[in-house]
Structure 1
């Protein structure tokens, strides 16, 4: 990811479910200034932080305060579950990633995909110091290298090894259902999963759809 970036000093988390709560705890444990908001709260304060993490159900992404997030570094930690969200063609389109759909809605936000593929159990139990042999990997995808580096620094501070997955479109390689999703893998294992995604069944579906597009 190039040279190390400084850890963002503050984090806003939109979503107070189980994922949002554990990410808030990890950020506070890392000494970061944290503000959280639920869908019923005024999100303005959380949206002023250096990084804003989206931890609401993806099916509700159009309720996000797009004007407040314009120009902000935003981490998309959301996932599409048709069982919960219902059939959503815009989120099930193999020609694009769900994060690209979110980025198009959040016009002007600097969207990076990360933290979505870790299981809640992994987030709650496997945050470890840098260099620990059992430390798990977290993929980071975004179009701007500087934004990826900033999110990588945040991931590291939270207790995980960041893995550069490339541009935002590459986030499709760690959405459900892929090998990487929910794998609780080390950084090396995660890199191998991302590398073989194009040869997977889902990867072939995506490649065919994008070639036609």
Structure 2
């Protein structure tokens, strides 16, 4: 059984944990306050899940989800994430994170910064333009005409493959918006982000093309 490490147990991390356990994954989840504070969530998720510190969750995962904002000074466990696919669910929001000049200028995306902070990992931007409750309410089986799509961006095909498989299991089609330098196309305020998980594959592809950088890249 595949284990997903999840760093961050807020709305997004917790909902991904619920979807993962419902689809046959083991989950090791961490937050900033300590494993003992996750008792209610672990009780809800049942035997496939356990709580841990961030480094332990990273070490335990066959791949890892980071569901916390990026900080300019890295606070993720680089050694434990080495060699692993890392799904970064973060959206850059200056009102919350403070201004990152290199992102504001269009020189780099926040996910390229995550990749630089985790140079031995394979980062993919995933789950960034879907509201957490929609992981269940909007899910549809393959072939359903109402099935919606989510995007993935990465510099590594193997990371795109893992995200594509996970999206499919969770009930969504995939649009590949690689590499990470293109991940700004689903940033807050762009057409794909505004629509959240309310677009099928063709609509998402169109919205990605409609995206306009705030400043030239």
Does the pair score TM above 0.5? yes
1:136 aligns to 2:154 (yes or no): no
CA contact (8 A) 1:119 1:182 kept: no
Q: Give the total of aligned pairs.
A: 196
Task: Encode CA deviations 1:91-116: one digit per residue, 9 max, x unaligned.
Answer: 43311111001110112110011111
| Structure 1 stretch displaced more, 121-130 or 160-169 | 121-130
Cα drift, residue 122 of structure 1: 2.3
**CA drift at 1:128:** 2.1
Aligned CA distance change for structure 1 residues 60 and 23 (closer, same or farther; 3 Å): farther
Question: Residues 60 and 52 of structure 1: is their aligned pair in 2 closer, same or farther, counting only changes over 3 Å?
Answer: farther
TM-score (normalizing by structure 1): 0.84
Query: With structure 2 as the length reference, what TM-score do the two structures score?
Result: 0.83
- Measure the CA separation in 1 of the matches of 2:72 and 2:21: 26
- CA apart distance, 1:154: 1.2
Residue number in structure 2 paired with 1:125: 137
Tell me how far apart the structure 2 counterparts of residues 105 and 120 of structure 1 sit (CA, whole Å).
Answer: 26
Q: Which residue of 2 aligns with 1:46?
A: 57
Match of 1:116 in 2: 128
The structure showing larger relative contact order (alpha-carbon pairs under 8 Å, at least 6 residues apart) is 1
Q: Does 1:10 align with 2:22?
A: no
Match of 1:25 among 11, 18, 24: 18
Residues 1:93 and 1:40: Cα distance change in structure 2 (over 3 Å): farther
Which deviations, in whole Å up to 9, do the C-alpha atoms of 1:163-200 show, x marking residues without a partner?
Answer: 11121111111111211114122122111111222xx3
